[in-house]
Chain A
Amino acid sequence: MASENGGRLAFEVLTQVDHSVIAPRLGRLSVPGRKDLETPNFFAITSRGAAPHMTPDVISSRTQFGGVHMALEDFVDKAGKGGTPPIMNVPNSSPLHTFTALPKRISTLLAPRRTPAVTAPVGNSNTAVSIFTSTGFQAISNKNYINYISAMHPDIAIGLGDVPYGSVPGSKRVEKMGDRTEKWLSELLNEKSEEQAVFAPILPIDFLSQSEYINYIADEAANSVSGLAFYDSNILPDIPATTAVAKLPRLTLDEPSSPAQILRQISLGMDIFTIPFIGFATDAGIALTFRFPKPLPPGSEGEQKEEMSSGTSLSPLGIDMWTSSHATTLSPLSLGCECYTCTSHHLAYIQHLLSAKEMLGWTLIQIHNHYIMSEFFAAIRSSIRKGAFEEDVRVFERVYESELPEKSGSGLRVRGYHYKSEGPGEPKKNRSAWGNLGPNEGKVEALIPIRTQRD
């Protein structure tokens, strides 16, 4: 790789000259030492520094994504007890990459919190926000956050924002949010090293309530920040269209629930996405199957799914892999898909693995779902390049259902560090795997052999 973070992050808008027009755009994000990222595109979400279910060798050989979202709260468990988080001790100039064994081509984005984040019982203060680690809640001050950034060297750091999770902030809080975030951002920009790329957080409140803060970014900070990170992408059209602001890459941290929402944000000019529904779908055992703008033409070897041949009905965005009707289906998860899972395995195996609760099932679906997402964005870029994006979005909306299918099966065991009970009377998140053999014990009915031999 190029001299470790020797250069600076650069973003080039490849289309669109008139910044006052709201439109989809193509861009290229160049992070020193990493592979260039064509935008629109997405960053995969990690948990404790790992892309769930996928080991680093799988990431490097079986996925195409160019960046990952990492949460500081996943690395600083020990700080709560006064210790030094191990990641601060990595003997290397690229600690976040080294610690997480992340392939070098992939860029890292450090955010204070996971996406989605667990709601903290205590709100943020003038100097600190609440984060949730595997050992409990902690307050992390902007000063500490700046120290972590300088020690961890993420390729991109998102400034600390006063983001309220879980509740709608009252009018008094809203007033403070912009002020606090502006103060924190200016502290970060003053203290960070020259080459550290920082994305300014845009708060999930309406533009007017944070106009002072946003004007600060536009007027004073536009040349020191390297991008904007939207906690609510609906603010995007309100952002001042100055040249300095328009040339910044735009990343969204809000949580799109469907590809249609992603398309809408792209039409507003969003560049980079973090997409929690990829992981939700994987954990629910749903293989994403959508293509942009419409399904691949049926291959010679197989027909499309029956529901789709019935003409008027919409195609599903994904297929539930738990369904027992897949038990003997030897076709790939999605016809024409060239991901590792689809070229090496079939529906029957995935269905078996889920039903047997084998971890490989989720790994294979995760590989596939990330591949589908990479293909989705590649097709979007090519559509924008051809000037066909608007029309293609209409086709997509005509062909596909608007939301992902409901989950039917259970996922993996959920763990305490990323789920927290938020009130009394919640049902158990994990079903108990074993119970007593119970009243059946000893009762003998007809003998049923493992195989009824008919011949």
Chain B
Amino acid sequence: MVSPASMPSALTFELIARCSTTRARAANLTLPHGLVQLPLFMPVATQASLKGLTPQQLEETGCRLCLNNTYHLGLKPGQEVLEKIGGAHKLQGWKHNILTDSGGFQMVSLLKLANITEEGVRFLSPHDGTPMLLTPEHSIALQNTIGSDIIMQLDDVLVTTSPDTKRMREAMERSVRWLDRCIAAHANPTTQNLFCIIQGGLDLEMRKECCKEMVARNTPGIAIGGLSGGEAKADYCRVVNACTSLLPELKPRYVMGIGYPEDLVVSVALGADMFDCVWPTRTARFGNAITKHGMLNLRHARYANDFGPLEEGCGCICCRTGEGSLGVTRAFVHHVAAKETVGAHLVTIHNVWYQLALMRSVRQSIIEDRFPKFLKQFFSDLHAGDKTKYPEWAVEALLTVGVDLMED
């Protein structure tokens, strides 16, 4: 057991504003590679590249903190290469912040043959089928080499919908033990911030227990994990609600794997600050553009003669008008979608911009203390003002923090 005082931190967290109705917060988070403004969405550059975008194009979307996946970087280019190059920032020419996951999630999501023991995760190499082992120590050593600004503990991830409460408890308790091993193995606590990951499935008591144990470890930031695995949205909201109410005010709270716009705004209302998801960039490659009125599948024939921007009023380089505008139309994206990679790149730029711009306007509304009004406008835009189409879970979750979407 590590005493709380011994855990250094490489970040400063400054609370800027609090919503007077919901639990939403606006904060400034200063990391080793600069300031990021919370609440925040982090796009995922899995293999040290955000799907086809140059680091400069990513920077132009306003992104100052993106994800890399430890598991993927561990396979390619591998730890030895990363060590020689001097870490992931130097590898990809990225001047801003990077967060890496622990690699544990990919073991579960990509590999059906993963086997978890107290020692770590055993799995077969996807390259040649040779058995491999990932321990908390390996994960942290690898993330230390990667040099990411935020590193994640290795956790024992279980789908939240698992009915096996005994296994769920084992996973939660093991995650706490692995956190201690991660803290002990962490070589660069003054330059890299280790975040713990709250586990416990959908069992609120177990989540609370985990919060208590992990908060006591005093990591610079706290993540809520194991979600976004197919659980009911109402259950998801209950878990986030339960956790954020137990977490310290002055630490960043990161909910892993969340990226749908409606999930983001509701989670912010429930008191979460940071999110990541591959969905916006993945769906872009299928020709889907995110807009405030919902998603457009640009491969559909109805867009073949649509010479408007992807989204009217959007500020991304594809859509913006005036000086330096590219004049990319829905018709052009339709013309190249799924045929030339340029189509994917353009929609990726737009979608990342959309997600970041959404969070910027959420932040602004919190600072100006008009977030409840923002939420109402957001859902009204998304469902063309038709309240019968509002998702029930969102209405209920927002009621718990004092916002009634149904009232006018």
Residues in chain A within 8 A of chain B (CB atoms):
47-58, 75, 78, 86, 89-91, 98-101, 134, 327-328, 330, 340, 344-345, 348-349, 351-353, 355-356, 358-364, 412, 415, 417, 437-438, 440-441, 443-451, 453
Query: Is the CB of B72 closer than 8 A to any CB of chain A?
Result: yes
| Cβ-defined contact, B307 with A55, below 8 A | no
> Is B62 in the interface zone, CB < 8 Å from A?
no
- A327-B82 Cα distance, complex, nearest whole Å: 9
Give the residues in chain B near A362, CB-CB below 8 Å: 341
In the complex where A53-B342, A55-B346 touch, is A355 in contact with B56 (Cβ < 8 A)? no
Given A57-B317, A417-B339, A450-B134, A344:B79 Cβ within 8 A: no
Chain B, 290-305, CB within 8 A of any chain A CB: 304-305
User: Which of B77, B81, B135, B137 neighbours the largest number of chain A CB atoms within 10 Å of its CB?
Assistant: B77
Would you list 21 pairs from A and B whose C-beta atoms are within 8 A, ordered by A residue?
A48-B335, A49-B332, A50-B336, A51-B342, A99-B332, A101-B332, A134-B339, A344-B93, A348-B91, A351-B77, A352-B81, A355-B77, A359-B51, A359-B345, A362-B341, A437-B124, A444-B131, A449-B134, A449-B135, A450-B79, A450-B138
Cα separation A57 to B135 with both chains bound (whole Å): 44
Q: Which residues of B contact A52 (CB under 8 A)?
A: 340-342
**Which of the residues A344, A359, A417, A444 comes within 8 Å of B52, measured between beta carbons?**
A359
Contact B76 A352 (CB under 8 A): yes
A101 contacts B55, C-beta separation under 8 Å: no
B57 at the interface (CB under 8 A from A): yes
Q: Is B20 an interface residue (CB 8 A)?
A: no
Q: Is the CB of B349 within 8 A of A55?
A: yes
User: How far does the Cβ of A317 sit from chain B's closest Cβ, in whole Å?
Assistant: 25
Which of A58, A345, A444, A446 has a CB less than 8 Å from the CB of B93? A345
Residues of A within 8 Å of B130, CB to CB, are: 445, 448
Answer whether A355 and B76 are a contact pair too, CB < 8 Å, given A348-B81, A441-B113: yes
B93 partner residues in chain A, CB cutoff 8 A? 344-345, 349
Bound complex: CA of A50 vs CA of B329, how far in Å?
Answer: 13
Whether A449 contacts B133 in the complex (CB less than 8 A), given A49-B336, A86-B335, A344-B56, comes out as: yes
A residues in contact with B334, CB < 8 Å = 86
Say whether B327 faces chain A, with CB atoms less than 8 Å apart.
Answer: yes
Q: A50-B342, A86-B331, A412-B341 are in contact. Are A58 and B54 (CB under 8 A)?
A: yes
* 4 shortest interchain CB distances as A-B pairs: A440-B129, A359-B52, A50-B342, A328-B84
Complex Cα–Cα for A57 and B345 (A): 11
Q: Mark B33-49, 1 if CB is under 8 A from A, else 0.
A: 00000000000000111
* Most chain A C-beta atoms within 10 Å of own C-beta, residue among B137, B334, B339: B339
Is B383 in contact with chain A by the CB < 8 A criterion?
A: no
Contacts of B223-274 to chain A: CB distance below 8 A: none
Q: Looking across the interface, which residue of chain A has its beta carbon closest to that of B91?
A: A349
> How far does the alpha carbon of A238 sit from the alpha carbon of B342 in the complex, in Å?
41
Task: Report the nearest B residue to A437, measured CB to CB.
Answer: B129
Cβ contact within 8 Å between A99 and B331: yes
Report the bound CA distance from A417 to B336 in whole Å. 11
* Residues in chain A near residue B159, CB distance under 8 A: none
Pick the residue among A55, A344, A445, A453 that contacts B345 (CB under 8 A): A55
* A78→B335 CA distance, assembly (Å): 11
Report yes or no: A99 in contact with B335, Cβ–Cβ below 8 A.
Answer: yes
Please pick, from B51, B74, B340, the residue contacting A450 in the complex, using a CB distance under 8 A: B74
